[in-house]
Amino acid sequence: DGGNTWAPRSIPSAEDEDFNYRFNSISFKGKEGWIVGKPAILLYTPDAGESWERIPLSAELPGDMVYIKATNEKSAEMVTDEGAIYVTSNRGYNW
């Protein structure tokens, strides 16, 4: 309805942790969406936010994720605060 109605959503894979996340960037293309935040978290939804999957990140990722852009089906581009640019085409399993 164009953002007139909002409903809270929980992210089960992040609920058991003792801190709150700050989302830095959210991007959708069709029903697929991505969220990056701090402390380091990457989330993916294939169904317009009905469910979310936490995607594991490498400890070697340089810097904090600051931006993500959904580009195609199962694909996105991600940028860190150190200028690193990553691309995935398989739901974030490889960058």
Interval 16-63: pLDDT, tens:
667 788 899 999 999 999 999 988 899 999 999 888 999 998 888 888
Look up residue 76 and give its two tokens. Answer: 């996105």
pLDDT at position 63 is: 86
How far is 35 from 50, CA to CA, in rounded Å?
14
pLDDT at position 13 is: 65
Mark out the alpha helices in the chain (DSSP H runs). 12-15
pLDDT at position 82 is: 92
Report which DSSP code applies to 55.
Answer: P
pLDDT at position 14 is: 66
Q: Strand 32-38 relative to strand 53-54: parallel, antiparallel, unpaired?
A: unpaired
- Are residues 32 and 45 in contact, defined by beta-carbon separation less than 8 angstroms? yes
- Are residues 44 and 86 in contact, defined by beta-carbon separation less than 8 angstroms? no
